Amino acid sequence: MDAISQIQKELLAGNDLPSFGAGDTVSVSYKIKEGNKERVQQFQGVVLQRRGAGATETFTVRKMSGNIGVERIFPLNSPFIESISVVKRGAVRRARIFYFRERTGKSARIRERKNFKKEA
């Protein structure tokens, strides 16, 4: 193993994030700095994709704000992410559900995966 991948492996060892994937509804608590103040903001939505590996892994979350869809890409190992909690598991057949962007109304629902145990 080269030096870079060895360092990345050591840095990612203390990662205590829940397992989630495309179709899951997650709530991400992340820190925002405004001037000299810092606060925690919630972003709850459906995970469209996870991409990358190791230290560069990211995930995309989409939520509806009124009638407007808002997407945000989070680095998985960001120091600004305080916590990630899985609200519900979704049963989807794809790893990247970009078709979800065009859906509205009843077709925008995702079936809930059975045998889901909430993580603390």
Q: Residue 24 maps to which CATH number?
A: 2.30.30.790
Q: What is the pLDDT of residue 89?
A: 94
Tell me the sheet residues that pair with 63.
70
Q: What is the pLDDT of residue 87?
A: 94
- Run of H or E residues at 32: strand 25-34
Regarding predicted confidence, which is higher, 11 or 64? 64
Q: Say whether 73 sits in a helix, a strand or coil.
A: strand
Question: For residue 3, is it within any domain?
Answer: no
Question: For residue 103, is it within any domain?
Answer: no
Question: For residue 49, is it within any domain?
Answer: yes
Distant-in-sequence contacts of 55-59, Cβ < 8 A, 24+ apart:
55/8, 55/11, 55/12, 59/20
User: Which residues constitute the domain of residue 53?
Assistant: 17-98
Angle (nearest 5°) at CA 29 between 102 and 20: 60
Question: For residue 107, is it within any domain?
Answer: no
Count of domains forming the chain: 1
Which amino acid type is present at position 33?
Answer: K
Query: To which residue do tokens 């991400």 refer?
Result: 28
Averaged pLDDT for residues 43-68: 92
Distance CA(83)–CA(94), nearest Å, equals 25
Question: For residue 35, is it within any domain?
Answer: yes
Question: For residue 36, is it within any domain?
Answer: yes
Residue 112, pLDDT > 60, answer yes
Question: For residue 116, is it within any domain?
Answer: no
Which amino acid type is present at position 85?
Answer: S
Which amino acid type is present at position 89?
Answer: R
Question: For residue 75, is it within any domain?
Answer: yes
